[in-house]
Amino acid sequence: MNVLTERAYAKLNLALHVRGKLSDSRHRIETIFVFCEDGDELTAEPAPHSLFELQILGDFASDLGGENLISAVWRDLEIETGLDLGVRFTLDKRLPVASGVGGGSADAAAALRLLTHLWALDARHAEDVAPRLGADVPACLLSQSCRGEGAGDQLEPIDLGLTGTPVLLINPRVPLSTVAVFAAWDGVDRGPLGGWREGRNDLEAPAMTLVPAIADVLVWLRDQPGATFVRMSGSGATCFALFDSTEARNAAANACPAHWWHLASRLR
């Protein structure tokens, strides 16, 4: 039995500038994506023709609804390729849902990578399908540091020299709708994105109006010894800190309040 496993790497935005609207009504952004070594785990194995099965396990399994992007990947790849193939997926859902770390998009990207190998497809099929599944899916398919423009789906790989950097992710255990956060954005273009350290996340302010606990997480992270960079990721509510050492990150992870979810990892 050919059983394959892929990691759905957690996505972080080092900066996210909202510049306006595109002609298709999506928001025009400029962002810097990086990815953690950890995330959800997705396993796939062949199944009879046209059979799709998905078993969801893990800490956040109960937070997922019935319809999800993994089933959309299977359906869209069948249409894209004209094939009639089956698959059994098992998802270990380790990342919080609706949390700004690309969980659903990363799961979809992992499914695209798995089916490309399982069905011996040309990689271009996954690249063609990814933008149709969501603006973050192309970046998650790449899962390496890159600059995103347009809706975040126009990508340019970049080397930030951050591979191996210790990082701590914290979520206040409050799901946050991306649509709601963008709707709460004030519409002000605060300028283009240059260097990521000098950048900002324009969605932090509207996200905090919806989930005030985000401000508490950011303050707590900034107070941790060894934290060199702190920001909210994506549309929230997950925030993160880069650390100058593994020891400092581990100390912060051990001190994290019990009512918050956290993940100690490193950047890819």
Q: Is 191 helix (H, G, I), strand (E, B) or coil?
A: coil
Residue 202 annotated among the catalytic residues of the structure: no
Annotated catalytic residue: which of 11, 76, 107, 202? 11
Is-catalytic flag, 21?
Answer: no
- Single out the catalytic residue among 40, 136, 153, 202: 136
CA angle 174, 176, 179 (to 5 degrees): 170
Which helix (H) or strand (E) segment holds residue 249: the answer is helix 246-255
State both tokens at 4. Answer: 């394959």
Q: Which residues of 40-54 are buried (b: 16+ CB within 10 A; e: fewer)?
A: bbbbbbbeeeeebeb
Quickly count: other Cβ atoms within 10 Å of residue 208's Cβ.
Answer: 20
Residue 91 exposed, middle or buried by CB count within 10 Å (0-12, 13-18, 19+): buried
The DSSP H or E segment spanning 266 is strand 261-266
Cα dihedral sign, 127-200-205-268 = positive
Q: Which residues are catalytic?
A: 11, 136
